[in-house]
Amino acid sequence: MENLLHIAYDAEDFRSRAHQLVDQLADYISECRDGKPMPVLPPAEPEELYSHWLQDFNHEGFDFQQFCQTIINQSIHIHHPRYVGHQVAPPAPMAALTELMSALLNNGMAIYEMGPAATAIERVVVEWLAKHVGLGDRSGGVLTSGGSAGNLTGLLAARQTICSHNVWDEGALEGQQLAVMVSEEAHYSVARAARIMGWGAKGVIKIPVNQELQADDDQLENCLAEARAQGLQVIAIVGNACSTSTGSYDDLHSMSEFARKHNIWFHVDGAHGGAAVFSGKYQHLVKGMELADSVVIDFHKMMLTPALTTAVLFKDVAHSFETFAQKAEYLLSNGTQKPWFDGAARTLECTKKMMSIKIYALIKQYGKELFSEFVTQLYDLGQAFADMIRNEPGFELAIEPQSNIVCFRYWPNTLNMPINYFTAQIRSQLLRDERFYVVQTYVRGDTYLRTTLMNPFTSTNDLSELLHLIKQIADEIIADK
C-alpha cells in the first residue's frame, strides 16, 4: 500500500483538485454576479444539517468535488446581489486566492522568523492605512483577528498609557475602578472588552444618543461628572464610525476635543465605517478620526477581504508595544523595548494568519481607488434606497441613513396587530421565501428590518423588488390574521 503521507502531499493531485475548485468557484461568482435565482440563505434547520453531515461522515468514500459543491450550495451566498443582511464583504477573488497561499504556507507570525514576508508586508500595509487616516508620522499598528479583538487591544493600550502605574504588571490599585465612556449604540465588543479587563458593568458609562442615534455631545460633561462622583476613573472615550445597528456616525471631532480637555484616551471603533476615509464624497463622516489615539478598521467589512482582518492603528506606534508588556523569554526578545517585527508582543494572537498579504495584493493590483469606489457606490445605494422607502406609501425609515446600513419598516393603514410583531413576522416570511436575506434590529425599543448593502452589484431594481415582496408578504399576514 502506498504511503498515505506521500498521497496527501502529492503535488499533481493538489494541482488537479485546485483547478476543479477554482472552476467551481468561478462559476459560482459568475452566477452570483448575474443575479441567478437561488436561495440566498438555503433553508435548513441546524439538526437537519447536522444529520446530513453525520451521515456523510459515517459513509464510506469521499468525492472532493462533490463535497465542495455541497458546501457551496448549503452556504449563505454573500456574493449574491440579494444578500443585504450582515456586515460581511463579498471578498474580491484575488484576496481569496491569497488566502489559499496563506493556508498552505502557514507562516504563524508569532515571531519574525515564523513569518518573515508577511511580517514585513504587515508593517507596510498598516503604515499605508495609518497615513490615509491621517494619524501622523509617528503612527503605526498591527493586524488582528476582528473588531472585537481590535477594540480590546486599543482599550488595553489606553489602560496601560493613561493609568498612573503599570497595570499590566501590578494590576489595579486597591479601590481603583476604571471605566470607559461609549455611546448607547456602540457595538457590544466595547462593553465586553471592559468586562474582560475586570471593570464590570459599572465600568461602561453609556452616553445617551440624539434623534439620529449619535452620541449626544451635550451629555459628555454630565456623564463624566456623574462617573467621577461614583468614584470611577474614566480613562477613555469611544466614538462610533459607524454604529453596527443603524450606521450612525458620532461626532468624532467633538469627542477628540473632549478627550484632549480631560486627558483621556480617544478610541474610534471604525470597524465598519472607518473605510469612508477613502471616499471623497463621504470622508466628512470620519472627520476627527485622525485625532484619535487608536482606531480600529476591519478590512473584511468595507475593504473587500475575507474575514478576519482588522487593523488596530495608533497615533503613537510606541503604545502598541505597551499593550501586552509581558515577558516570554522562549518567544520574545529580551529587554524592555520589543522589536517591531515580533508580532506576538503586540497582539492577542501568538500564532496568527498571514493577514497582510491579501490586503497588499489588492492595493498593488487596484490601488486605493478600489476601496473608494466600493464605499462610495454602496453609500450612494443606501441613500437611493432611503429615497425609495420615503416614496413608498406605508414604509418608514428608522433614521436617515448615513452609510450603507438602512433600517426601515412597513406600517400600512390596514394593520390590525402590534407593529413589532408584524415586522418580525415579515422578516420570518422573507427567510422562508429565500430570495433575499434581510436581518432585523431594534431601534429605540422597536423592531425594524435592517439591510446592509454590501454587494456592489446590488441594484435599485433588486431593492424595488424587495419592497414589493415585503408588501406582498404583509398583505398575506394581514389577510390570515
**For the segment 335-355, what is each residue's pLDDT rounded down to a tens digit?**
455 677 777 778 888 888 999
Q: With a cut of 80, say whether residue 323 has pLDDT above it.
A: no
**For the segment 132-146, what is each residue's pLDDT rounded down to a tens digit?**
999 999 999 999 999
Percent of the chain with pLDDT over 90: 85
Q: What's the CATH architecture for 101-367?
A: 3-Layer(aba) Sandwich (3.40)
The answer to whether 193 and 236 are in contact (CB under 8 A) is no
End-to-end CA distance of the chain: 67
**For the segment 187-222, what is each residue's pLDDT rounded down to a tens digit?**
899 999 999 999 999 999 999 999 999 999 999 999
The better pLDDT of the pair 321, 191 is held by 191
Question: What's the mean pLDDT in 255-266?
Answer: 98
Tell me, what's the pLDDT at 55? 96
Q: Tell me the C-alpha distance between 222 and 34, whole Å.
A: 53
Tell me, what's the pLDDT at 110? 80
Residue type, 335: G
For the chain, give the mean pLDDT: 93
Superfamily covering domain 370-480: Aspartate Aminotransferase, domain 1 (3.90.1150.10)
Per domain, the residue ranges of the chain are 4-90, 101-367, 370-480
Tell me, what's the pLDDT at 328? 43
| CB neighbour class for 76 (10 Å; exposed up to 12, middle 13-18, buried from 19) | middle
Dihedral sign for Cα atoms in the order 165, 166, 167, 169: negative
**For the segment 435-477, what is each residue's pLDDT rounded down to a tens digit?**
999 999 999 999 999 999 999 999 999 999 999 999 999 999 9
**For the segment 417-426, what is each residue's pLDDT rounded down to a tens digit?**
999 999 999 9
Tell me, what's the pLDDT at 332? 46
Q: Tell me the C-alpha distance between 366 and 368, whole Å.
A: 7
pTM above 0.85, yes or no: yes
Q: With a cut of 60, say whether residue 62 has pLDDT above it.
A: yes
Q: With a cut of 70, say whether residue 255 has pLDDT above it.
A: yes
**For the segment 278-309, what is each residue's pLDDT rounded down to a tens digit?**
999 999 999 999 999 999 999 999 999 999 99
**For the segment 14-29, what is each residue's pLDDT rounded down to a tens digit?**
999 999 999 999 999 9
